[in-house]
């Protein structure tokens, strides 16, 4: 599995100090320009900057239209654990800091919390090692894959049918773990699929008939196309593992504001409001056991979008949360600030999104202007002050961190959030508003707010704040205690086909009387889930995850097959006669290497094929399982694979023969290869028979150096040291 945090570690060698200095100066200059915009433009719009002169203001004020219950058990960043549980007291521990205190003040109508501890310890993110597990396995597992596990599974000649992985309206499905799946959802509006990853609810496995509310989590301006920042930069996957919601993570959308654009720009024609509110919900509800009860959380750009999407689509979201969002986009200077930010994040032109600032689309996407439409939606708004906080590195200037851009952006967020909260108060719309006395525009603070907001999210979506107690016992408990990296349990034991299972934050343990307790996790767990788990053709695991002898990969054996994984190939199951042949050749250390795809049926003939790093294994009822590899595989593909006159292979690659050559037999002929001649086919028939009489490759003609071709009313084939021609029933060797 890929690491959870994958910031670029590439270092350019040989770049001059002068170039480095110029680029650093340019970056700092852009950051200072953005900071200036943050400080000057909103002030020109009539939004004051009072309260930002000191890093730790003595007073911080929030406004709410009506009394809003404080979420139980709110914690300071330093108190964040993997599970947020409500506490008996209703006092916010964030207000109990022993550093200069941040006092909660209220108007007659306001009871929302406005402070948080300014001296938290850093919150560790969940990281994932470059294996399919999230930590090294300590289970007793095979140290070699040169032989099948004991007891040897009974595997039929033909693999049992694998469950369909197709989902209506989805171009591609990739299971990342047993409770995380990537979907490339078709979008007619954008003319191409758009990736969405789903963190599946706690009870997804244990209660297969249940459905769950959805929590959309929107990314920031620099959203990546491979993975959501929420799973790269925060502990979202672990945090929501015991929450009974399906977490919906759109992947991509850099600088999009998750809206419908007027024009294409930079190769993108975003229509993401249509996608998120019209095209995606039917897929989630029909195929991913998701209800129409929804919430949305966003950071920075995503915070802006969370609020205007909820306002523009009344009733679609029951909860909307903005973490450091820009909640007034049309005030003086803000269109220019957005243009600067979008240009910096991908080179986008803001006018391609909503037109010129005079265009009505700007007002239609301004949370401040659309605030009245948020009545009845549970709202959560937070931002820092921009001053140096516990996750920032001081610059040497009091209150100013080295994150200059993050300082400016957070000040923009704070000013617009205050303006937005004031508007909500005037409209009589309640909101939970949390202003931190410090902190810049950066991920550790958004992870903190994600934890803080959960009780309110849970209440709005109608799910329990805390997970029910789950205990450990028996063989499963012993295996869990031997593998603490699995994290705490998130379910109790539950029945599966042939045995029992229990889910943990980072994997599952399966048990039966015949197989014992075995761990399945990571991308191997995802492949197992895609194959139907214990109810599918693999059956129950017979080993826990183990490392392969070459150090490249990981594997699990099951009652009726195996799953192997490497970072390069991903996780793939191997079953039936194909697995039998692969194991007899030495598993991954044999000539074919690791599987690179799953077994599939051949499209036009009765058979199956599975791809490996250096070739493929084909199976048919008449030929059995045979491997084709290397340049012979290349020639077989050039000829049309099993659909050509060659048909299915009747043997795996044989050799070495003369001059270190190799060959495969097929239903309709053979393919021969040698270093000197290359790979060529030869049909069964008169030419093949005559070549045999001449001694095949060991005779005077040597290897074929062409395929059979038409020649003067007959056919001819060239060999290293001559030709064979068949014409009118006559055979000529020259």
pLDDT digits (tens, 9 = 90+) for 108-117: 233 333 333 3
Reported as a single tens digit per residue, the pLDDT across 59-83 is: 333 343 333 333 333 333 333 222 2
> Which listed residue (60, 256, 300, 677) is catalytic?
300
What pLDDT score does 178 carry? 96
CA dist., res. 450 & res. 218, Å (int): 12
> Which listed residue (365, 441, 451, 557) is catalytic?
441
Residues 460 and 378: beta-carbon distance below 8 Å? yes
Copy the structure tokens of residue 671: 């393919």
Residues 240 and 304 reside in one and the same domain = yes
Residues 605 and 672 reside in one and the same domain = yes
What pLDDT score does 404 carry? 85
Active site residue 638: no
Query: Please, which contacts does 715-721 make with residues 24 or more away whose CB atoms are closer than 8 Å?
Result: 715/687, 717/682, 717/687, 717/691, 719/691, 720/676, 720/677
Residues 362 and 334: beta-carbon distance below 8 Å? no
Please report how the helices 404-427 and 334-344 are oriented relative to each other, as an axis angle in degrees rounded to 10: 140
What pLDDT score does 437 carry? 94
With respect to residue 224, please indicate whether it lies within any of the assigned structural domains. yes
Domain termination site, one of 446, 475, 496: 446
What pLDDT score does 158 carry? 61
Least confidently predicted of 24-38, 422-436, 635-649, 658-672: 24-38
CA dist., res. 283 & res. 194, Å (int): 12
Reported as a single tens digit per residue, the pLDDT across 590-607 is: 999 999 999 999 999 999
**Band of the pLDDT at 163, cuts 50, 70, 90?**
confident
Reported as a single tens digit per residue, the pLDDT across 361-374 is: 999 999 999 999 99
**Band of the pLDDT at 216, cuts 50, 70, 90?**
very high
Domain termination site, one of 446, 468, 487: 446
With respect to residue 51, please indicate whether it lies within any of the assigned structural domains. yes
Which of 310, 135, 338, 302 lies closest to 220, judged by CA?
302
Residue 6 has pLDDT above 50, yes or no: no
Burial class (CB in 10 A: 0-12, 13-18, 19+), 576: buried
Mean pLDDT over residues 427-435, rounded?
A: 97
Active site residue 21: no
Residues 6+ apart with CB under 8 A from 441: 300, 324, 384, 386, 403, 405, 406, 407, 408, 409, 410, 413
Residues 139 and 545: beta-carbon distance below 8 Å? yes
What pLDDT score does 13 carry? 33
Proportion of the chain above pLDDT 90, given as a percent: 75
Helix (H, G, I), strand (E, B) or coil at 36: helix
Residues 721 and 644 reside in one and the same domain = no
Residues 652 and 725 reside in one and the same domain = no
CA dist., res. 217 & res. 247, Å (int): 7
Least confidently predicted of 45-49, 234-238, 397-401, 711-715: 45-49
Residues 696 and 604 reside in one and the same domain = no
With respect to residue 672, please indicate whether it lies within any of the assigned structural domains. yes
Residues 376 and 238 reside in one and the same domain = yes
With respect to residue 194, please indicate whether it lies within any of the assigned structural domains. no
CA dist., res. 322 & res. 413, Å (int): 10
With respect to residue 36, please indicate whether it lies within any of the assigned structural domains. yes
Residues 676 and 693 reside in one and the same domain = no
Reported as a single tens digit per residue, the pLDDT across 281-300 is: 999 999 999 999 999 999 99
With respect to residue 33, please indicate whether it lies within any of the assigned structural domains. yes
Residues 670 and 695 reside in one and the same domain = no
What pLDDT score does 324 carry? 97
Residue found under tokens 């419908």: 260
- How many domains are there within the chain? 3
Mean pLDDT over residues 403-413, rounded?
A: 89
Residues 713 and 645 reside in one and the same domain = no
What pLDDT score does 399 carry? 87
Residue 134 has pLDDT above 50, yes or no: no
The number of angstroms, rounded, from the C-alpha of 527 to the middle of its chain's C-alpha atoms is 14
Residue 316 has pLDDT above 80, yes or no: yes
Active site residue 684: no
Q: Where are the beta strands (DSSP E) in 436-584?
A: 494-496, 499-504, 507-512, 516-520, 546-547, 554-558, 561-566, 570-574
CA dist., res. 236 & res. 459, Å (int): 19
CA dist., res. 384 & res. 443, Å (int): 12
What pLDDT score does 157 carry? 52
Residues 665 and 694 reside in one and the same domain = no
What pLDDT score does 165 carry? 77
Q: Which letter does DSSP use for residue 469 in this model?
A: P
Reported as a single tens digit per residue, the pLDDT across 548-594 is: 999 999 999 999 999 999 999 999 999 999 999 999 999 999 999 99
Q: Domain containing 360: what range?
A: 23-125+216-262+294-446
CATH of the domain at 106: 3.40.50.1820
With respect to residue 717, please indicate whether it lies within any of the assigned structural domains. yes
Residues 212 and 198: beta-carbon distance below 8 Å? no
* pLDDT greater at residue 639 or residue 401: 639
Tell me the H-state helices in 383-442: 404-427
Reported as a single tens digit per residue, the pLDDT across 218-236 is: 999 999 999 999 999 999 9
With respect to residue 196, please indicate whether it lies within any of the assigned structural domains. no
Residue found under tokens 């979201």: 317
Residues 243 and 377 reside in one and the same domain = yes
Mean pLDDT over residues 164-185, rounded?
A: 94
Reported as a single tens digit per residue, the pLDDT across 442-495 is: 999 999 999 999 999 999 999 999 999 999 999 999 999 999 999 999 999 999
> How many other C-beta atoms are found inside a 10 Å radius of the C-beta of residue 705?
18
What pLDDT score does 396 carry? 86
Domain termination site, one of 646, 662, 681: 681
> How many other C-beta atoms are found inside a 10 Å radius of the C-beta of residue 107?
12
Residues 618 and 725 reside in one and the same domain = no
Copy the structure tokens of residue 212: 């769950």
CA dist., res. 321 & res. 314, Å (int): 15
Residue 7 has pLDDT above 50, yes or no: no
Residue found under tokens 């090294």: 136
Tell me the H-state helices in 487-640: 522-530, 576-584, 630-639
What pLDDT score does 144 carry? 25
């Amino acid at each position: 599995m890929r690491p959870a945090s994958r910031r670029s570690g590439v270092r350019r060698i040989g770049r001059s100090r002068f170039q480095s200095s110029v680029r650093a100066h340019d970056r700092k200059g852009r950051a200072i320009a953005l900071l200036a915009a943050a400080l000057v433009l909103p002030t020109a719009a009539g939004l004051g900057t009072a309260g930002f002169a000191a890093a730790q203001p003595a007073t911080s004020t929030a406004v709410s239209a009506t009394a809003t219950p404080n979420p139980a058990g709110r914690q300071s960043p330093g108190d964040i654990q993997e599970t947020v549980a409500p506490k008996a007291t209703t006092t916010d521990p964030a207000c109990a800091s022993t550093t200069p205190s941040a006092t909660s003040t209220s108007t007659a109508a306001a009871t929302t919390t406005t402070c948080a501890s300014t001296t938290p310890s850093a919150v560790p993110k969940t990281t994932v090692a470059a294996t399919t597990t999230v930590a090294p396995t300590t289970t007793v597992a095979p140290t070699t894959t040169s032989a099948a596990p004991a007891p040897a599974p009974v595997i039929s000649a033909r693999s049992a049918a694998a469950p369909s992985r197709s989902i209506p309206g989805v171009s591609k499905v990739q299971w990342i773990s047993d409770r995380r799946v990537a979907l490339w959802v078709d979008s007619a509006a954008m003319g191409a699929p758009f990736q969405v990853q789903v963190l599946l609810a706690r009870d997804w496995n244990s209660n297969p008939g249940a459905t769950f509310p959805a929590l959309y989590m929107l990314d920031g301006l620099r959203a990546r196309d491979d993975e959501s920042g929420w799973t790269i930069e925060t502990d979202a996957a672990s945090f929501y593992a015991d929450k009974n919601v399906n977490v919906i993570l759109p992947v991509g959308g850099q600088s999009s504001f998750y809206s419908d654009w007027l024009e294409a720009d930079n190769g993108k024609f975003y229509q993401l409001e249509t996608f998120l509110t019209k095209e995606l919900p039917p897929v989630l509800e029909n195929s991913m056991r998701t209800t129409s009860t929804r919430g949305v959380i966003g950071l920075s750009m995503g915070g802006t979008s969370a609020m205007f999407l909820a306002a523009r689509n009344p009733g679609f979201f029951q909860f909307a949360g903005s973490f450091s969002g820009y909640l007034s986009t049309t005030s003086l200077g803000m269109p220019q600030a957005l243009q600067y930010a979008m240009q910096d994040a991908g080179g986008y032109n803001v006018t391609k999104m909503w037109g010129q600032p005079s265009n009505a689309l700007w007002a239609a996407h301004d949370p401040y202007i659309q605030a009245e439409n948020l009545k009845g939606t549970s709202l959560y708004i937070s931002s820092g002050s921009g001053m140096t906080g516990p996750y920032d590195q001081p610059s040497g200037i009091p209150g100013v961190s080295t994150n200059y851009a993050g300082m400016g952006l957070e000040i923009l967020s704070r000013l617009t959030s205050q303006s937005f909260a004031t508007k909500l108060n005037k409209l009589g719309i309640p909101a939970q508003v949390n202003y931190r006395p410090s902190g810049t525009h950066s991920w550790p603070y958004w992870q903190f707010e994600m934890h803080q907001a959960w009780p309110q999210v849970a209440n709005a979506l109608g799910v329990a704040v805390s997970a029910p107690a789950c205990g450990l016992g028996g063989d499963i408990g012993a295996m869990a205690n031997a593998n603490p990296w699995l994290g705490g349990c998130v379910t109790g034991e539950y029945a599966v086909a042939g045995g029992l299972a229990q889910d943990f934050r980072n994997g599952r343990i399966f048990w039966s009387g015949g197989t014992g307790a075995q761990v399945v996790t990571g991308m191997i767990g995802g492949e197992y889930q895609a194959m139907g788990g214990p109810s599918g053709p693999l059956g129950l695991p017979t080993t826990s995850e183990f490392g392969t002898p070459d150090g490249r990969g990981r594997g699990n054996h099951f009652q009726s097959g195996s799953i192997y994984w490497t970072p390069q190939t991903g996780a793939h199951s191997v079953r039936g006669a194909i697995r039998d042949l692969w194991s007899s050749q030495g598993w991954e250390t044999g000539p074919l290497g690791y599987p690179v795809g799953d077994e599939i049926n051949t499209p036009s003939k009765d058979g199956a094929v599975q791809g490996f790093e250096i070739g493929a294994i084909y199976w048919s009822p008449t030929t059995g399982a045979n491997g084709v590899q290397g340049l012979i595989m290349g020639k077989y593909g050039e000829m049309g694979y099993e659909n050509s006159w060659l048909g299915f292979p009747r043997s795996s690659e044989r050799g070495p023969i003369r001059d270190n050559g190799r060959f495969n037999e097929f239903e309709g002929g053979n393919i021969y290869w040698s270093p000197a001649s290359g790979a060529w086919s030869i049909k069964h028939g008169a030419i093949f028979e005559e070549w045999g009489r001449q001694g095949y490759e060991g005779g005077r003609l040597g290897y074929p150096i062409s395929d059979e071709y038409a020649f003067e009313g007959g056919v001819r084939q060239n060999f290293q040291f001559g030709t064979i021609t068949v014409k009118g029933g006559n055979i000529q060797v020259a």
